[in-house]
Structure 1
Amino acid sequence: MSTMQHTDFAKAKRFICMDIDREIRLAYASQRNEFKAAVQPFVIPLGGANYLAALGLLSYTEFGGKLKYNERKKNGSDFASKNFNRFFDDLGAGYKQFRASGTDVYDIFRCGLVHEYYAKANCDIYMCKKKDKPIGIGVEPCGKYYFVVETYFEDLKRALDQLEKDCFNEIM
């Protein structure tokens, strides 16, 4: 486990939650006529930053994995993909099952968004929950991938809360 202090973790978690929650709220507000009318004079694009939010969530997943598991290579450097994958599995059974199905989530999604600003496979990124998508990341029957920011965010928050309990022995 990491040597990060609890106060620093709490600050980071608060930032993560405020950052992503703001984008989700902007996406919902953008669907309302009152909001559209209010921002029109300022030429502000509607919606939330779906790609940036997805990128942030995937980066925060790696952050959580490093804190909780701190996997290292033989040379002592961080083993980023192992840290990511282990914490990704902590998001819930559906996530673990999705990764176990053979999808290289770290490469396709995390590395794709970080290095190419798009997933390395055909993918739709949604801000708001979708009733037909029970987890925040997955694949459609047709083979197209999806990422649902709001759903992934809710699952990541639960995993971060559990990490906080495990690492800092705090009752939430």
Structure 2
Amino acid sequence: MQHIILIRHGRAEAGSWNMDDFDRPLTPEGTEWISRAAALLLQGSRSVATAKRVRIIHSNALRTTQTAEEIAAVLSRAGIAGELENDPELYQADQDHLLKLILSAETGVTMVVGHNPAIGQCAESLSGSPLAMHPGSVVVFSLDTADSESLVGKNHEPELVIHPH
């Protein structure tokens, strides 16, 4: 069984004419929420709380990198190794790229920290129903990734959904 956690990066600074979208950092509130969401994830997901290591794949945009690093820090304080993996393709990825990451994931816990629309489309494809992925949203799925035909459109019930308040 594979535990897949889809996370949209935390709330980021608004873009401006002199700041590239790629370089937008998390706001202080965005960082605070991600820390809180990671703690809620530890409380609400047995698969995460009992893991020895968690693979955290993120895009190389600043806000997703900061989100992944904050989650890894919270996991570390709980004695769980958060193994960060930068995937430059996630910045402009489509849903198919995310599904390939899920299918290639090892048994255990894999987090994918990414951007809309792909992260939201992937969550909806797996659950079979609309799932709003606001900045800082987290969705946990337990999937049998050995059967790739059963991944999309099979109404996988999320184990846990966390939305920012």
Q: Which has the higher helix share?
A: 1
Q: Which has the higher strand share?
A: 2
| Larger RCO (CA under 8 A, 6+ residues apart) | 2
Which bin holds the TM-score, normalised by the shorter protein? under 0.3
When Rg is computed on C-alpha atoms for both structures, the one with the higher figure is: 1
